[in-house]
Structure 1
Amino acid sequence: MSNSSDNHTVADARPGNWVDRHAPPALRPYAQLARFDRPIGWWLLMWPCWWSAALVAGATGAPWPNPWHLALFMIGSIVMRGAGCTWNDITDRDIDAKVERTRSRPIPAGRVGVRQAVAFMVFLGLVGLLVLVQFNAFTIVLGIASLLVVVVYPFMKRLTGHPQIVLGLAFSWGALVGWSATTGSLEVAPLVFFIGCVFWVVGYDTIYAHQDREDDALIGLGSTALTYGEKTKPFLAGCFMATLLLFVIAFVAAGAGLIAFVGLAGFALQLAWQVTRLDINDGALCLRIFKSNSKAGWILFVGLTADTLLRSAIQTF
């Protein structure tokens, strides 16, 4: 057993994170199971929700994104990302035990049993449901529908070389929910925006997957990192260009203003930096570039929100 397992930390979490330092020992394995020690995951799940909330605010003439919705999306992203990670670790427990980066996780390390993990997942799911029922009926049904994608995702790496597409569907669902929470329906803009988010997720998760491609190859799992290998940069550029094109179409359909497109330009520059900086043979760099997508999220959200605020101010005066 590795040292990371002996001292009850996990190898793929940042050393000295708040969970390792402050979580009570009895709760620490569950916090690690839900990846509370790695907030980047819930940020990436949340961004399509927040972006869509800002986009629909501009489309409906609101002065800013609904703060209550933003708070609910944050809470929902944290708990549902935790539930999804727990489900992933339950289904992948035998695989995780064979991979250096993941064998110290709570289930393969023997610190949480499968029944305990299932109970914890159900608890997180119920919290997520409590969040979801704060919205309109259409959004509740739409949110529940996303569970089908979440359930099947862990098995896709066993069946296809493109499991990131299914992850993209799951992590982009907020682009639909963020819009419908305000309007109670879907239109062209959120549907196109959703597809753009899928390409974005496929891109950044391909970068992330390069950390495990050697282990994945030995075990016989699929990933876009393995599928494209040395051609990852062209593939990544294609994904990100598709994202930008679809976002432009969605912005136009939603009636977004100039400042939103300025934010989109900044977002595009950040994605271009990821492609040019990437070295698929440097795992630490891949992780750093992957995490930089939270910065990309802020850039786009600030642009959309500033555009809404400016247009509202102009209309007021």
Structure 2
Amino acid sequence: MLTVAALLIGLSVRLLLSLPGVPDNLRTLFWNGGSLLNIFCFGLFIVGLGSGGAWMGALLRRLPLPWLLLPPLALAVSMIAYVCLFLSVTPESLHDLIGVPLVDQAARQAELKPLLDFLIPLQQVRPGVAKWLESAIRFAALYAPLPILVALFTVLISDALTLSAGTARRNLPLLICAGLLLVLCRSLVVDYAATDNLQELLAERTLVGLPGSVLIYAVIATLALNAVVLWAVLARLVNRWAGMLAVAILMAFCYWLLDASLAPAVEKYGATFRAMDFLMTGERRVPAANALRIVVGSTAQAVVLLVIALGIYTMLPARALFHRRSNA
């Protein structure tokens, strides 16, 4: 099922990118225009947005010491996603996302300290390995929060639905571990960034007083929670109407959080524009109408939610909830 879904998604993305009006940087996303292997790997990456976290959640419920398993599982899922992306898109596309490795730039190697300075000696011996490893670490820090939060909410909601005993004692260390991992990921993405492509879109201070680089993780958490709720609806584990109402409320809240976390004015390429306008419409010169921004944002969020929820369902059908969980 995962294979078929990945292939269909990859073909759909390739078809969309071939339509007129698509920006050149998206049209050249895939290697050599997108071979069957490229689009299949990209499809696996998309499916993994939900299935990776669901797989983690299933293991965390069944195996003892879930807090100890969370870091290696998150790393494994992130590395699989990185390999899929590495085999499907061009290096330029990856660099737009995570930046050019600093280990390959002598003038900026000092910026790797103290978390990533172990790469500097490796670069002198195996420069290709060091460069790939830095890119993989940066991607993992950017990607891992989503599967971590999907796994966490899968565990919490599954425990609530099955009335599992002893969940508070078991899940508290898991929550603490997840929080520490998110802090580490944010540090690598923000404090040790190799590019400002993402940071420049985030607000320095938001309406709630937090930096946009912090509030954006609330956006990811809300998105992950909503995807798990939608999965519960699709799996008929909760009342359909109550579940869809919760999904709609969370979608509105997620949109508000995203708007609040993004910069109201970004100066780049000789233009000043709202980060939200740029993300929703790609427009830098002309402000987008509120209605257009809301429609595009809601549609994009609905598609992402459905993709993640279906990914969860392919990996964690309803019957898997009722497998006996470990109480360790």
Structure 2 length normalisation: TM-score? 0.36
Structure 1 length normalisation: TM-score? 0.37
